[in-house]
Amino acid sequence: MSLDRDISLLSRIPLFAGLSTEQLRLLAFSAVRLELHPGQVLFREGATAMSGYVVAFGGIELATGHGTKRNILMTCEAGSLIGEIALFIETRRPVTATAVVSCEVLEIDRKLMTRMLNEYPHVALKLRATLAGRLVATVGELGKVDKALRGIDDTPLRRKDSA
């Protein structure tokens, strides 16, 4: 893939959509390109997460557990960002990511994101706003789930130790 195609790919990732061409070029140029064969593991559940991955082509399956207790959660296709949180904070992988077909991914490590945020403070503000908006939406969705689980009863759920 060429640098221009990588920039185009990154510009379609919602988290990076507001970045300038110059900023996308920095990400694309500094990203590490990885080729995966079908069945090859990108990362394992529980591993320390130091980077995020953008699927350039192919498909990456995300699953928990292993063997007969393996639970496939989803398949990420071209244009997907995997491990977004690892771009910003130290964390562990909650799933195992495995190529289901021949794949190519761009690895963007946390050090690169930190550099981007330090060199372009206005980018940090944009990303903060994007992530804050998602968090608000997630909390709203969790509220709906809570209400659905309780039925029409509006009594707040209480922890056992608070009774």
| CATH numbers and ranges of domains, the chain | 3-152 (2.60.120.10)
pLDDT per residue, tens digit, the chain (163 aa), is 588 999 999 999 988 888 889 999 999 999 999 999 999 999 999 999 999 999 999 999 999 998 888 899 999 999 999 999 999 989 999 999 999 999 999 999 999 999 888 888 888 888 878 778 877 887 888 888 888 888 755 556 566 555 5
pLDDT of residue 162: 52
Whole-prediction pTM: 0.81
Q: How much is the pLDDT for 80?
A: 96
Can you give the pLDDT at residue 122?
84
Region of 82 (left: φ > 0; alpha: ψ -120 to 50; beta: rest) is beta
CA distance 75 to 20: 29
Q: Judge contact between 103 and 58, C-beta under 8 A.
A: yes
